[in-house]
Structure 1
């Protein structure tokens, strides 16, 4: 499972993310499970801040929801939040990650050790860069399909 990837098909093309179960096994298992169930298919990137990150994974497209599965205990690790880093979104409670995640546009080391890094974009970062910006974007980018393979 060391080289397992998550492919997010966006309007502009595919984003391939190397999953890192060595860093966050429970978070990778959750994302794999949700992708396999089709949970992410059709979900919007509801919060896209230029130069910072693109957040998605809320079934309502608002940032207020998650899956019906229980929240995850944090798996903070020493992996830095740099361009292409994939990490879990959460509330103020460190153990509240569920289905929402974000992809860093640039370096965001101030997040290090406070959010669970679970993957790294290996190709297609230009498609993340092309996502419509906003909180929420007027016409948000959508995950057409999410496939683990």
Structure 2
């Protein structure tokens, strides 16, 4: 596991193959970083599936409303919801969508991000300036690379647990 420099702004995600450590970027996207910590602390991401995983592109998850495999679950609804919290305004920056960065998923409205996010499998610079970048994988990217592909996957992988490192 990577050395954790700022535990309050580090997410520790457990996947089937191992631990993924994510450094949040509160200086770049404070509202998005805060939302991820709030939902992680509430346990909202625990058990949520990766509902859209496109090889050579990204893995999307975070539908805390319809994506929890441990509760009443229908894969066809996963990806259509968010949290009960209000949507977030876009926090676009000059940070590129490089391999391992965390982007805020949203609808066509730039100010519609809520709980869903994606992790880029490769540099996806065509997304630059259109989706908020608010974190980066600092260790465990090989576990992200191993997530089952599909839109949706027939047997989706899930986030077993998501915690703020300061609380772990």
Same fold flag (TM > 0.5): yes
Q: Does 1:147 align with 2:166?
A: no
C-alpha displacement at 1:38, in angstroms? 0.3
| Aligned length, in residue pairs | 148
* Cross-structure match for 2:47: 42
Cα RMSD for the two superposed structures: 0.8
Q: Give runs of ≥4 in structure 1 deviating > 4 Å.
A: none
Q: Does 1:75 align with 2:91?
A: yes
For normalisation by structure 2, the TM-score amounts to 0.86
* Cross-structure match for 2:110: 94
Q: Does 1:18 align with 2:23?
A: yes
1:113-128 matched pairs, under 5 angstroms: 113-128=129-144
SS at 2:51 equivalent: strand
SS at 2:94 equivalent: coil
Larger radius of gyration: 2
Structure whose residues are more often strand by fraction: 1
SS at 1:41 equivalent: coil
